[in-house]
Amino acid sequence: MPVATPRTYLMCEPVHYTVSYEINPWMDVTRHTDRDLAVAQWRVLRDTYLALGHTVETIDPREGLPDMVYAANGATVVDGVVYSARFRYAERGPEGPAYQKWFADRGFLTHTADATNEGEGDLLAIGDMILAGFGFRTDRAAHTEAQELFGRPVISLELVDPHFYHLDTALTVLNSDAADPQIAYYPPAFSAGSRAVLERLFPDAILATADDAAALGLNAVSDGYNVVVAPAAVDLAAALRARGYNPIPVDTSELLKGGGGAKCCTLEVRGSASAPGTLEVS
Ligand code: ARG
């Protein structure tokens, strides 16, 4: 029986949102973007979390970083330890230190990444382990680095479709409890071997349809019971309801023009600040 647990999320209001470069197949610089609409949709998303009883923290948006709204890429936080992001593309480079500073200023232990990784876009904590994507943005060296830092097994999964360039565009963690971990995913986004790994680890997973995936429906946010999901992902919503989850449609269509949905805009802060400082792992 799915049960909600309170979460803390970090978000960044899209006041500087635009599509001024193309680093994934969803982005098209010739297409008009509506910043006011992006902000309005973002606020509905934030208010949805607040209404569910979650805590939402915000980081100040920076001019010249239009993708900063996709907070999930800013870091990975497990047990109050922050593994900073190191972005693949120079356009997003400054976001890594900006997010790291936000955490350091609040007393979190932060570790500066050596390896290229795009935070929770590719590193998804579930149960005692971490599911980690590679193939487009995050290097496999980051999987090793994250495993060393967090002391949790990291399962490497290869992404093969450029439309699903981050793991969180192809796979959703529905229940992160070690006792009953549950996911939904879109099999064609993964290599054959990685599909076999997912089948072995999660035989009861929800398999998303091509329509769900095309709406970035897997870029959903679950608190264990409530699942914030793109309204167009109707098959996924029905499958969630059948499993006892509560799908909550939230329209983030304007932010889809940058290649992101609800999850991209949401960085989960797991654990709390312990002692300020920088954590070095050898
Ligand atoms: N335009 C951004 C990029 O391509 C979108 C990031 C979406 N974030 C995510 N967690 N999948 O980097």
What are 20-78's pLDDT values in tens digits? 999 999 999 999 999 999 999 999 999 999 999 999 999 999 999 999 999 999 999 99
Q: Which atom of ligand 1 is nearest to the CA of 24?
A: 4
The torsion region of residue 132 among left (phi > 0), alpha (psi -120 to 50) and beta comes to beta
- DSSP letter, residue 46: H
- From residue 211, alpha-carbon distances to 61, 157, 230, 236 in Å are 32, 22, 11, 9
Q: Which two tokens stand for residue 18?
A: 């635009």
Q: What is 8-278's CATH number?
A: 3.75.10.10
Give residue-wise pLDDT tens across range 183-203. 999 999 999 999 999 999 999
- Is it the case that residue 275 has pLDDT exceeding 60? no
Two structure tokens written together for 177: 């409890």
pLDDT the model gives residue 1: 85
| Span 175-185, average pLDDT | 95
Nearest to 95 by CA among 59, 149, 46, 138: 59
Q: Which residues are tagged catalytic?
A: 166, 264
Q: Residue 1 C-alpha to ligand 1 middle, in angstroms?
A: 32
Place of tokens 């999660």: 202
How far apart (Å, rounded) are the C-alpha atoms in residues 212 and 233?
4
75-121 pLDDT tens trace = 999 999 999 999 999 999 999 999 999 999 999 999 999 999 999 99
> What's the first-to-final CA gap in the chain, in angstroms?
42
What pTM value is reported for the model?
0.96
Average pLDDT across the chain, whole number: 96
Ligand 1: distance of its center to the CA of 135 in Å? 14
Atom of ligand 1 nearest to the CA of 92: 12
pLDDT of residue 282: 44
The amino acid that residue 229 corresponds to is: V
CA distance 3 to 225: 5
Top mutation candidate among 18, 67, 186 for ligand 1, by most atoms within 8 Å of CB: 67
Which stretches of 109-266 are DSSP H helices? 140-150, 192-201, 210-214, 234-242, 253-256
Longest dimension (CA), the chain: 47
Ligand 1 first shell, C-beta below 6 A: 23-24, 27, 67, 70, 72-73, 92, 121, 166, 168-169, 258-260, 264
Q: Which two tokens stand for residue 172?
A: 């959703």
Cβ-based neighbours of 238, under 8 Å, separated by 6 or more: none
Distance CA 197, CA 191 (A): 10
Ligand 1 atom 8, closest CA: 264
